[in-house]
Structure 1
Amino acid sequence: MAFDARTIRAVFLDVDGTLRDTDDHYVAQFTRWLRLVFGLPRAARHARTMVMRLEKPGNDVLGLLDVLGLDGPIGRLSEALARRRPLRLSAARLIPGIADAVQQLAARYPLAVITVRGATATQAFLQASGLDAQIAVVVHGLSTPRTKPQAAPLLHAAAQLGVPVEACVMVGDTTVDILAAKRAGAQAIGVLSGFGEEAELRAAGADLILPSVAQLPGVLIKPNP
C-alpha cells in the first residue's frame, strides 16, 4: 500500500533509533570494550555489526516477555532502577535534524511518543533533549497490557489524542513499530536512522521508508502554493 499523507491527523514516534541516537551510543560503548582486543578500526566495525544483529533477538525477547506476562514485573524493576540513576547527557543525544523536524511537525499535528521503555527513562530523555514541550501524549512500556508489536499502544495513543487510529501514522526504525501499526490499522513509516534495515522494514509492511525523521516534515507538511 502506498503512503497517503492526506489522511494523516496525528503522528506517533518511536524513541530509540528514531528520535534518540541509540545505535551510535551503543556502538560507541561496544567499541570501547572491543578495542582492547581488536584495535580501534576493527573494533568499530565489529561493534556496529553486533548492534545491528542484536536488534531482532532483543525485540524477540521483549515480545516473549510480553506474551508471558513478565514484562510488567521487569518493567517495574526497570522503573525503580531508572528513578535511582540519572540520565547521562550522552544518552539524550538526538539524531541530527530531529529537534527541528519535531518542532515543525508539532505545529501541524498532535504528536505521541510510543516506546517500550519505562515512564521515568522516557520522560528524562524527552526533558533532557528538549522535546517534551512538543509531545502531547507519551505511551511507555507499562501504559498498556501489551506492548509493540501489538496494537494496544497505538490504540491507546489514538484514544488519548481523540483521533481515529486509521488517521495516524507510526514512525519507527524497527519491524515491531511497523507490525504494531499494521495490526492497529494505522499507516507506517520506517526510518533507517536506527537498528532496522530497509528490506526487513519493507517486508514488515512499511508504507514508506525515509532516511530519518528529519525528512518527515517534507512528506507530511506541504509547502504553501
Structure 2
Amino acid sequence: MRTGPEEVTLRAVLLDWDGTLLDSYHADTQAYLEMFQELGIGWGAAELARHYSPDGHRVYRAAGLPRNRWEQADRLWGRFYQRQKPALLPGARRVLRELSRRFTLGLVTSGSRARVRRQLRHFGLSELFAVRVCCEDAPRRKPHPAPLEVALRRLRLKPEVCVYVGDSPEDIEMARRAGVRAIAVLGPFPTHDGLRAVRPDALLSSIDQLPRLLKNY
C-alpha cells in the first residue's frame, strides 16, 4: 500500500463482523421483525432493507421509535436474535487463518460485546484477533471514526499501515474518516448499491478474494 511517494508496509487487517465474516442477515432481519411486532411498529422486511444500517439506532430513528424506547428495543432484539443460529460466510475461516499468518487481525463491529464474544468462541476464532472493538467500546458508532480509532490506539498502529474490511457504506465512511484504506465486500445485507456509490478503495464480491488482493498491498 502507498501513501504518497513512499511505500508503507501493511501490518494489520481490521474487519467488520456481521455481513463481512458472519452470514447474519436472516438472523438480524428475523430479530428486527419480531421486535417490530412486539413494539407495534408496522414494518416488514422491505422497510427494514430500505433503511438498513449497522447502527441499530439509525433503524429505530427511521422507524419512528421514540428514543426512550430504544433500550427496550435493544433488549427485545437481543432476545429474539438468540433464537437464531447464523453461520460463518463461506471461506471466512480459511481467509482469517491465512491472513493471521501475515498480519495482525482486529475486529471492529457494531455488535454487542456479549454477542460477538459468544459467537467468536462458538466458531473457535477468538484467538485470531489481537483486538476486538464492539459497540460498548467506543463513544460513537459507525460511521464515526471512533470505533476504528479505538482499535488503532490499542494496537499502537498508525492508520496508514492498516486496512479495514466491511460490507456497509458506514464501514467505508468510518475507515476514510480514520485515515485507513477501505475495502468493501458484497455480503448478504442489502448494502450493495450503497457500497458502489461510496467508491471504496477496493470492492470484492466475496471475502474469499481478500488474501489475493492483499498480496498487492
How would you bin the TM-score normalised by the shorter chain?
Answer: 0.7 to 0.9
Q: Mapping of 1:186-201 within 5 angstroms?
A: 186-201=180-195
Instruction: Note the C-alpha offset of 1:199.
Output: 3.7
Tell me the residue number matched to 2:170. 176
Q: Mapping of 1:3-152 within 5 angstroms?
A: 7-26=9-28, 29=30, 52-56=49-53, 61=58, 74=71, 78=74, 87=82, 90-91=85-86, 93-152=87-146
Partner deviation per Cα, 1:104-141 (whole Å, 9 max, x = no partner): 11111111111111110110111112211211110000
The two structures, once aligned, show a CA RMSD in angstroms of 3.8
* Contact in 1 for aligned 2:120/2:126 (Cα 8 Å): yes
* Contact in 2 for aligned 1:143/1:153 (Cα 8 Å): yes
Which runs of no fewer than 5 residues in structure 2 stay unpaired? Answer: 35-43
Instruction: Note the C-alpha offset of 1:58.
Output: 6.1
3-state DSSP of counterpart to 1:142: helix
Pair 64,188 (structure 1): closer, same or farther in 2 beyond 3 Å? farther
Instruction: Note the C-alpha offset of 1:7.
Output: 4.2
Structure with more of its chain in strand, by fraction: 2
Identity within the alignment, %: 34
Q: TM-score, normalised by structure 1?
A: 0.72
Pair 111,64 (structure 1): closer, same or farther in 2 beyond 3 Å? farther
* Contact in 2 for aligned 1:173/1:196 (Cα 8 Å): no
Q: Which of 147, 152, 156 pairs up with 1:153?
A: 147
Query: Segments of 4+ in structure 1 off by > 3 A?
Result: 2-7, 24-27, 49-52, 56-60, 62-65, 77-82, 84-89, 196-199
Pair 139,26 (structure 1): closer, same or farther in 2 beyond 3 Å? closer
3-state DSSP of counterpart to 2:170: helix
Instruction: Note the C-alpha offset of 1:100.
Output: 0.4
* Contact in 2 for aligned 1:178/1:189 (Cα 8 Å): yes
Tell me the residue number matched to 2:204. 210
Which runs of no fewer than 5 residues in structure 1 stay unpaired? Answer: 34-45
Tell me the residue number matched to 2:37. none
3-state DSSP of counterpart to 1:55: coil
Structure 1 CA distance for aligned equivalents of residues 154 and 76 of structure 2: 26
Tell me the residue number matched to 1:40. none
Partner deviation per Cα, 1:57-92 (whole Å, 9 max, x = no partner): 966716979xxxx79x849x958996x89955713x
* Contact in 2 for aligned 1:79/1:120 (Cα 8 Å): no
Tell me the residue number matched to 2:40. none
Count the aligned residue pairs: 198
Pair 214,176 (structure 1): closer, same or farther in 2 beyond 3 Å? same
Structure 1 CA distance for aligned equivalents of residues 53 and 119 of structure 2: 23
* Contact in 2 for aligned 1:171/1:188 (Cα 8 Å): yes
User: Which amino acid letter does the alignment assign opposite residue 52 of structure 1?
Assistant: A
Q: TM-score, normalised by structure 2?
A: 0.75
* Contact in 1 for aligned 2:148/2:175 (Cα 8 Å): yes
